[in-house]
Chains A and B, each alone.
Chain A
Amino acid sequence: MNFCHKANALPSTSINRVLFFVALALVSGLGLSFGLHSMLVGHDSTFGTSREVPWGLLVSPYVFFACLSTGLCIVSSLAQVFGISTFQAIVPRTVFLAIITMATGLMCITLELENPWRVGFYALSSPHQSSNIWWKTTIYSLYLIFMVCNFLLLTLKKEKRAKVFAIIAFVAVTLGNLNMNSDMGLLSARGFWSENYMPLYFLSLSTLTGCAAILLFNWIGKSFSGQIAETKDDAALKATGKLFMVLLLGIFYFTGVKIMGGFYPQFTKNPEAMSLLVQGNFAPNFWIGEVGLAVLLPLALIFITRGEKTNILALAGISCLTGVFVLFYDLVIVGQLIPHYSQYNVVDLPKYYSYSPSLHEIMITTGALFFFLAAFILGEMLFKKIYNS
């Protein structure tokens, strides 16, 4: 294989790139300013949530970015922890991506809280050990520190010490992910979540999104740096592409189970919710997002190109990431739309509760996404030598 290293020929950070970063940061700042406004005036007048549907759009990017970070950490661990050298070339960028995705996720959930300023004090002074939220927030915060240490040691070329932090971070993020799914899956009040938040499904989805992000952002990173020729990263990306395909087939199976539950009540314990998802108001989300974008289109792109073209793999990655975001949105929202007293013949009780994200929620989500993109571009400018070493 003809690896062509262009690290020395990389163009220096131009003013255009800095301007691009500033533009992304400004959009992020604009979006996040809506979060500050919500914090000041309260969510009652700024969020689309209600007593019946207390969790809104912002929970979805939190779950999405936290799971994405989990997946990125798992893939980076294939090289760092399990010693699979094929993936070694993409480790620094993957670790950096894992850091900024988790930071983005934690920022989303912070802005989703009504009183985030109380978290630091009471999470430490009044911890609740049977609360999954307490565990996952604690674990994710520690994980973020471990990953930062891991990345710093990688930049200092101290691989052995970095590996120690990689192992700890890998264990931590797996535990965090299990608490993430249990947080919702153990709520017996919302049967839809209990049925769908299975640990295996959640870990598979996380790893899938990690692979998709690696395929997408490595391609963007190379394009951003002006690298056109094949590099040693390509072998790692093609290996990631294969893992991505296997996981897509696994998720395709889970999606099939959802489809069966949506059409045939005997396959589900929550026929109302599954029907709403597969045949009701959420059907466009499900069929276009969860089935088409998340699974079928990426699978088709990989099969057509046999997983050889990194630009097509990147396209499959962005399609999958978009679809999985929709999937998490559906999972969070649909789970809350079944009325609490639906079995009691209550007069004027709607068949489903309703929820629509407000302008504030959409802007905060946009701000978080642009925060992530700005951080990624900043990383490309600051760490390009490390990425290409």
Chain B
Amino acid sequence: MKGINLEKLHDEGVENLLSKERRQFLQFGLSISGVFLGGSILSVTSAKQAQGALSRGKVPVAEFPYSPHYTMVIRQNHCIDCERCLEACRKTNKVPAHGYRTSILERSIPIAQGQRERAFMPILCNHCNNPPCVRVCPTQATYKDKTNGIVLMNPEKCIGCKTCMAACPYNARYFNEEERAIDKCNFCYDTKLKESGGKITACAAACPANVRIFGDLTDPESDAYKLIHAPGKVLWVLRPEAGTLPNVFYLDA
């Protein structure tokens, strides 16, 4: 067998490979739930099996389930914790003082022995493709918009059982005492997003460091699409073990 002279081979780089890998990752991440073992008249599934089904029982799909399929990419290492996004969210969506739709967590990440790196991690509703909050709601007060995939609230129907709050792995929901209903981020669906013709949210518009990139996963011209599909970048989602398939992605730009 003739040996390969590695030194004479052209270096193709890792970008192409990574791009393919990334597409596969996204395809997996955006797959929709298949066999669902949630509520039923005969809910005999043991919790352990059901948890497995929540994270693994999915049918990969070749297309994005929504159009536009809204997403947000958070460029974590650009965040300076100025909190303008929080202020914009409060003003735009009339969020009461006792609650919040989005927040910023300060992280102290170990990078080497005795060394830590500070980072600010904005959090908000992940508008999951497999949202546990939607599954548990007994009156469909919270639901996933069939067109764009945003997880929305109909406050009129909310009975205040707070099961969605217990079910959310991201602590993205609170009870709005003024509306007597659960409130949460809706990507400014009825405010800024509507005003901007579906282009941007209040938090993304207010960010001076361009941390929050809002966009459409089905639009190749969208900044979010470009960031997600850019070669050589590592993307992650929060709490992947919960099997929620989030639509908010994080990266260090």
Chain A residue contacts of B160, Cβ below 8 A: 43, 113-116
- B180 and A114 contacting across the interface, CB-CB below 8 Å: yes
B222 CB-CB contact with A under 8 Å: no
- B47 and A181 contacting across the interface, CB-CB below 8 Å: yes
Known: A42-B180, A114-B175, A344-B121. A186 touches B38 (CB 8 A): yes
Across the two chains, which residue of chain B brings its CB closest to A344? Answer: B107
Known: A113-B159, A115-B158. A188 touches B108 (CB 8 A): no
A175 CB-CB contact with B under 8 Å: yes
Looking at the complex, which one of B38, B108, B137 makes contact with A345 (CB distance below 8 Å)? B108
Known: A122-B141, A199-B46, A347-B107. A187 touches B166 (CB 8 A): yes
- A179 and B106 contacting across the interface, CB-CB below 8 Å: no
A135 CB-CB contact with B under 8 Å: yes
A185 CB-CB contact with B under 8 Å: yes
- A188 and B136 contacting across the interface, CB-CB below 8 Å: no
- B105 and A341 contacting across the interface, CB-CB below 8 Å: yes
Across the two chains, which residue of chain A brings its CB closest to B40? Answer: A135
Across the two chains, which residue of chain B brings its CB closest to A346? Answer: B105
Q: How far is the CA of A113 from the CA of B168 in the complex (A)?
A: 18
Chain A residue contacts of B98, Cβ below 8 A: 44
Known: A54-B162, A128-B139, A128-B140. A189 touches B47 (CB 8 A): no
A123 CB-CB contact with B under 8 Å: yes
- B243 and A179 contacting across the interface, CB-CB below 8 Å: no
B21 CB-CB contact with A under 8 Å: no
- A340 and B171 contacting across the interface, CB-CB below 8 Å: yes
**0 or 1 for each of B119-147: is its CB under 8 Å from A? (1 = yes):** 00101000000001001111111000000
A51 CB-CB contact with B under 8 Å: yes
Chain A residue contacts of B191, Cβ below 8 A: none
B161 CB-CB contact with A under 8 Å: yes
- B166 and A122 contacting across the interface, CB-CB below 8 Å: no
- B169 and A132 contacting across the interface, CB-CB below 8 Å: no
Across the two chains, which residue of chain B brings its CB closest to A45? Answer: B177
Q: How far is the CA of A24 from the CA of B45 in the complex (A)?
A: 41
Chain B residue contacts of A351, Cβ below 8 A: none
Known: A51-B99, A118-B139. A188 touches B40 (CB 8 A): no
Known: A114-B180, A347-B106. A189 touches B242 (CB 8 A): yes
**Shortest distance between the CB of A239 and any CB in chain B (Å):** 28
B165 CB-CB contact with A under 8 Å: yes
Q: How far is the CA of A42 from the CA of B98 in the complex (A)?
A: 13
Interface-centre pick from B42, B136, B173, B180 (highest chain A CB count, 10 A): B136
Chain A residue contacts of B43, Cβ below 8 A: 132, 135, 175, 178-179, 182
- B139 and A126 contacting across the interface, CB-CB below 8 Å: yes
B109 CB-CB contact with A under 8 Å: yes
Within 8 A of A (CB), among B35-60: 36-48, 50-51, 54-55
Looking at the complex, which one of B107, B166, B180 makes contact with A190 (CB distance below 8 Å)? B166
A139 CB-CB contact with B under 8 Å: yes
- A187 and B171 contacting across the interface, CB-CB below 8 Å: no
Q: How far is the CA of A135 from the CA of B137 in the complex (A)?
A: 11
Chain B residue contacts of A134, Cβ below 8 A: 39, 138-139
- A133 and B171 contacting across the interface, CB-CB below 8 Å: no
Chain B residue contacts of A178, Cβ below 8 A: 42-44
- B47 and A133 contacting across the interface, CB-CB below 8 Å: no
Within 8 A of B (CB), among A75-132: 112-116, 118-119, 122-123, 126-132
Known: A186-B50, A187-B132, A189-B167. A179 touches B158 (CB 8 A): no
Looking at the complex, which one of A42, A193, A346 makes contact with B107 (CB distance below 8 Å)? A346
Chain B residue contacts of A224, Cβ below 8 A: none
Chain A residue contacts of B163, Cβ below 8 A: 131, 133, 183
Chain B residue contacts of A206, Cβ below 8 A: none
Within 8 A of A (CB), among B72-108: 98-99, 105-108
**0 or 1 for each of A129-158: is its CB under 8 Å from B? (1 = yes):** 111111101010000000000000000000
Across the two chains, which residue of chain B brings its CB closest to A116? Answer: B159
Chain B residue contacts of A195, Cβ below 8 A: 47-48
Q: How far is the CA of A175 from the CA of B42 in the complex (A)?
A: 6
Within 8 A of A (CB), among B149-187: 156-163, 165-171, 173-175, 177, 180-181
Chain B residue contacts of A126, Cβ below 8 A: 139-141, 157
In the complex, the 3 A-B pairs of residues with the closest C-beta atoms, listed nearest first: A114-B160, A185-B47, A134-B138
Which chain B residues have a beta carbon within 8 Å of chain A's beta carbons?
Answer: 36-48, 50-51, 54-55, 98-99, 105-110, 116, 121, 123, 132, 135-141, 156-163, 165-171, 173-175, 177, 180-181, 238-239, 241-244
Which chain A residues have a beta carbon within 8 Å of chain B's beta carbons?
Answer: 42-44, 49, 51-52, 54-55, 112-116, 118-119, 122-123, 126-135, 137, 139, 175, 178-179, 181-190, 193-195, 197-199, 336, 340-341, 343-349
